[in-house]
Structure 1
Amino acid sequence: MLKSICIYCGSSTGAAEVYADAMRQLARKMIDENIALVYGGGKVGLMGILADEMLRLGGEVTGIIPKDLMEKELAHEELTRLYIVKDMHERKAMMADLADGFIAAPGGIGTMEELFETSAWSQLGLHEKPIGIYNVNNYYDCLIELVGHFAKEGFVREKYTESLVIENDPGTLLGRLRMAAAPKEKPAKAPGRFLI
């Protein structure tokens, strides 16, 4: 089930209005599909735009912010829930625990770090939650090419690069993540034989 998604995105709005528009579109699609937002708890940049649109439309929004970033990222205090945690490690662990899946939207170094850590946790078998990339304005094309290079050079298994759900349309992205999050049917076991 995909009841909540953790979204990693920028604490700035980027160089083009297309990024802010895309976050509002994503919020509307999440509301349409009754999906709650889990995110970093800030009220600035793309984070703030996404949270504000979710709240405006009556959605559920949970923010997690470290106490030392309360002022720097300007904590959003009008959320459904806001957790203030000790540090970044606790923040990321809590976001991962509360979400049924992940989306990396446009952002900077912090967003990339969160995406790669979540992907690494998946490769290590620490979670089986789907990971999506919201490729607004082809923002992630270079990164997708780089990850393909990792696989080609034998440093990442092909199955992990193929497991990333990459879309530029928010509705298609959410639909594919929902399918990826659905419980997988395990093959039926053949009847066993008992040896006496």
Structure 2
Amino acid sequence: MSKINVLKKVCVFCGSSSGNDLAIENAAIELGTAFVARDITLVYGAAKIGIMGTVAQTVLDQKGSVIGIIPQFLKKKEVVHLGLTQLITTQNMHDRKLQMQEVSDGFITLPGGFGTLEELFEVITWQQLGLHGKPIGLLNINGFYDEMIAMLETMVKRGFLKIENFNLILIDTSVSGLLGKMENFKAPPIPKWLKPERT
């Protein structure tokens, strides 16, 4: 029987804007509610605005735990949520993402912009290189990521992306379905060419 991944802390990447699709905001509320029901601590970018703020406030309103991680320079510009369970301030963006990876048992990406995609692809690349073996989920709400998924499939067809690496992204249209896939995810073996000194 395969081992179930215990998701105690999950990092969510998503937009600091709310967008214009109510289905996305509703999915953010559903995700936050599911975290509280499953006793999962939310790890995220510490803002109280946009989809980020919606997920965090949902968890907090239902007495759940939220860890926000933000670099010092953004703390001055963004609207930081001051009611979090824990607020961690880092020196820069790289340290922020490193801490997010270190404290989390898995990752979920909701709709967002450039920053959201950058976070998603970096954590996928780290897994592809064997730097972690944690599940990475993509919540494809209302077809938001259809074109991106099609682009990744094109990369596979044209020989730039191995199918096993494409399959590292766990994709679902529902919160419950995605969390189920993440719990049952089995990390691939670390590449043989990857030595400790190269990481």
Does the alignment reach a TM-score above 0.5?
A: yes
Contact 2:124 2:168 in 1 (8 A): no
- Quote the residue 1:84 is aligned against: 89
Provide, for residues 26-58 of structure 1, a one-character-per-residue CA deviation record: whole Å limited to 9, x for no partner.
111111111110000111100001000000011
* Pair 1:158 & 2:163 matched: yes
SS of residue in 2 equivalent to 1:91: helix
| Shift in Å, 1:97 | 0.5
| Shift in Å, 1:160 | 1.2
* Structure 2 unaligned blocks of 5 or more: 1-5, 190-199
- Quote the residue 1:39 is aligned against: 44
1:175 to 170, 180, 185: 180
* Pair 1:58 & 2:63 matched: yes
Aligned residues: 183
SS of residue in 1 equivalent to 2:39: coil
| Shift in Å, 1:151 | 1.2
Contact 1:42 1:75 in 2 (8 A): yes
- Quote the residue 2:34 is aligned against: 29
The residue type paired with residue 20 of structure 1 is: E
TM-score by length of 1: 0.90
- Quote the residue 2:122 is aligned against: 117
| Shift in Å, 1:163 | 2.3
SS of residue in 1 equivalent to 2:11: strand
Contact 1:12 1:46 in 2 (8 A): yes
1:9 to 14, 23, 26: 14
C-alpha distance in structure 2 between counterparts of 1:36 and 1:168, whole Å: 22
SS of residue in 2 equivalent to 1:59: coil
C-alpha distance in structure 1 between counterparts of 2:157 and 2:131, whole Å: 24
C-alpha distance in structure 2 between counterparts of 1:177 and 1:73, whole Å: 31
* Pair 1:99 & 2:75 matched: no
- Following TM superposition, the consecutive aligned residue runs of length 4 or more in structure 1 with deviations greater than 4 angstroms are none
C-alpha distance in structure 2 between counterparts of 1:6 and 1:152, whole Å: 30
The residue type paired with residue 56 of structure 1 is: D
Choose 1 or 2 for highest CA Rg.
Answer: 1
C-alpha distance in structure 2 between counterparts of 1:59 and 1:149, whole Å: 40
TM-score by length of 2: 0.89
Residue identity (%): 41
| Shift in Å, 1:131 | 0.5
C-alpha distance in structure 2 between counterparts of 1:52 and 1:24, whole Å: 9
| Shift in Å, 1:112 | 0.4
